[in-house]
Structure 1
Amino acid sequence: MQLPVNRFKQALKDGRMQWGIWQTFGGPDMAELLAASGYDWVLIDGEHGAFDVGEIRPCLQAVAGYPDCSPVVRLCELDTALIKRNLDQGAQTLMVPMINTAAEARAAVSAMRFAPEGTRGFNSATRAGRYGAIADYGTRAKDELCLIVQLESRAALGNLEEIAAVEGVDAVFIGPADLAADMGYPGNLAAPEVQDAVEDAIARLKALGMPAGIFTLDPEMQRRAIAAGASFNALGLDALMLMQAAQARLAQFRGA
């Protein structure tokens, strides 16, 4: 059996625009619904979403039935055990939040690779290795793994070039909400200083040839980010989209 191709990683290399959507509600049905809706990638949010490690596995299996959609798993923090367990259960693309230094980025890369390049514990008899059916999983696993580091602070943006230069970092995701809070504008992504910082970070990443992404519900920030070079962009979040649809439906009839 061949190692599954990471279509998300390949699209990053090709420079293709990829549109994503955020899953915070747990369960494979939500994952499948979002995958079926036509987005290029679904982020299964293990940071703020309703997921323990084992609850991510059926979501990965649900998305696997949609070859035009790729799952991305966001961890709650940089943790070698979390990285190992999510890789073993078949995640090929991980997003690690709150990366502030090149040393932290290198630690994430190490946790994703088997020795002698890294510290990931070896086991090929997992879902990732198709339960032993992929004979060369140990030597080829890293080829189809994709690491996205998330920069969400002024310190991280100050270290952007050093972080992006770490071998094994495949893409950088800018987190505008936490960045805005760190800059003294909690909840105010529209602050000009925040928008300028996001746009500048993405432009710097583009100049380095590093794929950049963002999630924002601010249309102006989204447009500026895309113009600056953001190539994988999340456009919505399940909870907010459901609330907006529910409120809009009620408004059609209440008081009519």
Structure 2
Amino acid sequence: MLSFAQRLKNREKLYGTFVTLPSPEVAELLALSGFDWLWLDAEHAPLDFLTLQRMIQAVAKRAACLVRLPLSEPSVIGRLLDMGCDGLIAPQIHTAQAARQFVRAMRYPPEGTRGVGLARAAGYGLGFQENLERANQELVALVQIESAEAVNNVEAILETPGLDGVIIGPNDLAATMGFIGQTLHPEVQSAIQRVVEFAVKASLPVGVFTGDTEEAKRYESWGATLIPVGADVLFLAHGAKKTLETMKG
């Protein structure tokens, strides 16, 4: 079976979803539902280190677990990778320099600066050498393009050695462009399409987050192959609301 990193590199269409609730059971359920990957959101959601590890353990490789960083600090990056996730998503990357620093912090020497430890990713020491040999190739490094500055720098960001793909954040992008809360504004959509086109031209996987399936299909038609759609809280809220509306007539 191909690794998630190889499937991503092969430009397979990979469908993922947001996980924000601090619950191993929720992560496990979404993986069992058939998603290819889960976006564990440590930037905005109350997911601490121990909870994240329990969520990754619960998923048990049924889906790839990609953690969005709370901070792009080397010590945080190292701890999250040591938990055994399949990759990281760095938010608020505005420049090529920031992208390079993030990718290097994810890789063991000589490609990077990641420290060596005896944590879960290394089988608590039982898979130590195997982890060292495969980590640099199998751990996915993704950055988020979510500002007007990042859009302007997108070509340089896409040239980052070792970068595996980019994900566009429409909400923050719209805010920095002066259209807060208006992700469907024509100028915002034009900027999103520009980034997608540059990524496709650079042969790098690209995705755009949305909670709407029709929007997701549009981005897919533009060339997105890394497709995050929906979120645990949205599924719960919409399902509950629809059920109640049906019962009340």
> Normalization by structure 2: what TM-score?
0.94
| Structure 2: 5+ residue stretches without partners | none
What displacement does 1:157 show?
Answer: 0.9
Paired residues for 1:221-236 under 5 Å:
221-236=215-230
CA 1:65–1:150: 2 relative to 1, 3 Å: closer
Root-mean-square deviation over aligned CA pairs: 1.6
Distance in 1, matches of 2:49 and 2:59, equals 16
Alignment-derived partner of residue 133 in structure 1 = 126
Same amino acid, percent of matched pairs: 40
Alignment-derived partner of residue 65 in structure 2 = 71
| Count of aligned residue pairs for this structure pair | 248
Alignment-derived partner of residue 200 in structure 1 = 194
Distance in 2, matches of 1:38 and 1:217, equals 17
Deviations 1:124-157 (A, max 9, x none): x211111222224324321111100011001101
CA 1:115–1:92: 2 relative to 1, 3 Å: same
Deviations 1:209-255 (A, max 9, x none): 1110111134554333212210011121111111111111111122x
The amino acid across from 1:78 in the alignment is S
CA 1:65–1:157: 2 relative to 1, 3 Å: closer
What displacement does 1:122 show?
Answer: 1.4
SS across alignment from 1:128: helix
Deviations 1:44-71 (A, max 9, x none): 11111220122100111111152xx211
Distance in 2, matches of 1:33 and 1:159, equals 38
Alignment-derived partner of residue 47 in structure 1 = 43
Distance in 2, matches of 1:65 and 1:106, equals 28
Alignment-derived partner of residue 94 in structure 1 = 88
| Structure 1: 5+ residue stretches without partners | none
Alignment-derived partner of residue 174 in structure 2 = 180
The amino acid across from 2:173 in the alignment is L
The amino acid across from 2:119 in the alignment is T
> Normalization by structure 1: what TM-score?
0.92
Alignment-derived partner of residue 246 in structure 2 = 252
